[in-house]
Structure 1
Amino acid sequence: MTAIRSNPVTTPATLSVPPSAPTNAERYKAFDLLATLVAVVRSDGEALYANAALEDALGISRRVIVGAHFPDSFTQPENLRTILKGVGGNDFSALRYDAGLLRMSRDPLPVHVIVSLTEGTEIIVELLPLEQQARQDREERLAEQALANKELIRNLAHEIKNPLGGIRGAAQLLEMELASPDLNEYTQVIIHEADRLQSLVDRLLAPHRKAHVVGDVNIHEVCERVRSLILAEFPRGLEVVQDYDTSIPEFRGDREQLIQALINIAHNASQALSERIAQGDARLIFRTRVARQTTFGKQRYRLALELHVIDNGPGVPDSIKDRIFYPLVSGREGGSGLGLTLAQTFIQQHQGLIECDSQPGLTDFKVLIPLP
């Protein structure tokens, strides 16, 4: 009799299944969190992956992009073809240039292209809309200017403050020694001007003297406080509109500093509306929104407060548009030129930023502050 040997049965518990390799979509899914446009391609130009931002910009699904010849998405495809071959052949590891990105039913989008080689053979093509690049450059300049202004103001204020006390004291002593009371008018001018300069110096130093008092802030309470102050000063001819997103959460900040910053912006706007206030059609809008996945100050934030102060005034004069946040720059006769400088300082102490977009009939000051 021939014995039949049966093969042992392998149970599922003893099976050794090798882990499956992650797909491109899984490997590069982090790119979907970026606001910049990103594609992963091969040196021959075939697209392996496109993030959500690139889908939106092109106006087509990533299923259409993946597998297609990516350089054909540009107005001058031969430039990217040449660059991809050079990067793939290790002629260079990264390259930057400006190009036009073709879009469905829209004009080409001007972009700054950054091509870089990964550790493997795949090439990452990052596209920054030139408008976004210009904004980042502008924010960087604003931050550098604010830092330089801060040091200049502090040093200059201290240099001015020290002799002011001596000038005022000398004028008071001189006033007591004068034989004719009629001459007191001149010493009073000296004392009055010394006091005015002292007040100016105190305002310059105020943001750097007072401690940053942090607590829970409801931005709409801040807006309502400022709104009531503006309406008390301009009771007729000015309409102050509330356009609030009540879903905005509270955040940690210095309530008094934020009130002062918003007062400075709104007060400047109200004074610029003087002619329209006289006509009775002046309008000031407080608008709050949540900005998602936004980048400012060289950092990306999942959520940020976007607070707009909008007026229908004559706009910021072209001669000072690029300098309105500089100290002692004012577009109004008799203005100190400190309101917006101090507002920018207070907002920057909250890791935020103020931007201005102005044209006749519409001026929009936008405040950005990170939210938790």
Structure 2
Amino acid sequence: MRLIRLGAEPTQIGVDVRAALSTWGTGDSVLGGVAMLGVTPPDCPRTLDAVIVLPRGVLVVVGVDLPDPAMRLEAPLAGQWRIDGWPLTRPDGATSPAAEALAATTAVARRIQDMRGEPLPVTTVVAVGPYVAHVVQPTGDLNRGVRVLHPKPTTLLAAARELATSDRPCSAEHAAKLLAVLAPTGIPPDTRQLRAEGFPDAAADLASASTMLLPKVPPAPRRPRWLPYAAAGVVAVLLVVGLVVTLTSGGESAATQSASSTPQPTTVVVDGRNFTPKGADRSEDCAKHAFGDVQVWLSGHMCMQLRRAQYETVVDGRKVGVAVSELNLPDAARAGELRQVASAAGSGGVTALVKDGRTWPGGPVSFDRSAIRTATKTNQVRIAQVVWAEGESDPADPALTALADQALRLPSTQ
């Protein structure tokens, strides 16, 4: 993400918007794109905290400073905003600050259309602060492409990924023109810099378009006039035969159908060993599901997503519980830092789903004293924990440590 500061932030929460965007770093390892800060597009009624131009969409970020921090904000587009149950009052008498944000988005979309810019979806992000723990939006407002949020790296990233959904990416050449349309006084990045932010070449953009050749369909042959009557006779005979077969073998066919419709258990095979899935989930709050030094590290660093899954297998006739965690970091360097922390003895880790109450019959009640293995792959950190389902476990048990190495290759989704 390349940041271009064209003016001061019009709101206090705009500082948090800029800070959140800066954590993504340059390049497209996290998201890519270009963010213009403190920009006033032509014909726009106000200065915007940010306009984020992504390969697959444009986000208009409008800041709203609330009078106080809030635990809960009810933020409908049409209707009264409420802070912890109290109606939001403003000197201008407006009950919903979202109207200003929608007007700004409309102006940006009209500007792009009038100047024949790349037809990307233009959506709205209303950044609220100084702090909001939980924002409540009607489903209809979410479907309209509007997000009200407290700007953190994770919340902004999630909104960008949900809203920038164009089928065809904007090329680097078109992105440069689009930036010039929205900020005619500045100098947009060149195409080389835009390619580094995830905008494809024009040639690659054209090559990505799919072409489908429709085969020529020959005309249907004329059928003899007697064919419908013959077909009707054949159908009548088949109906009689089918009725007889049904009456004589109805019980057998029903039993066969019932047996065939019984769902079969799904397993994942690694090195010839079967692992039975026992649940999975994902979360944007990585630190919430960690403990020890790992939680401390995650609290001070950006983590985009945590995926957790658990499995069951059998070793020498004994059931074994397996927990797999996958953390997505902004880049490989930070993934290496986290793995170094997680690999140290007694440094904590990621809590298994059983700690959240996701147990299963015959499975372990906890993953205490589990054998642990860690690995990295580019910007991902994987942690595998293995325990005996019954009885005491030893982190140095050779059978468990060998199984933990295998578990690193299990999928974190089910």
| TM-score range normalised by the length of the shorter chain | under 0.3
TM-score scaled by length of structure 2: 0.19
Structure number with higher helix proportion: 1
Structure number with greater Rg is: 1
TM-score where L is the length of structure 1: 0.21
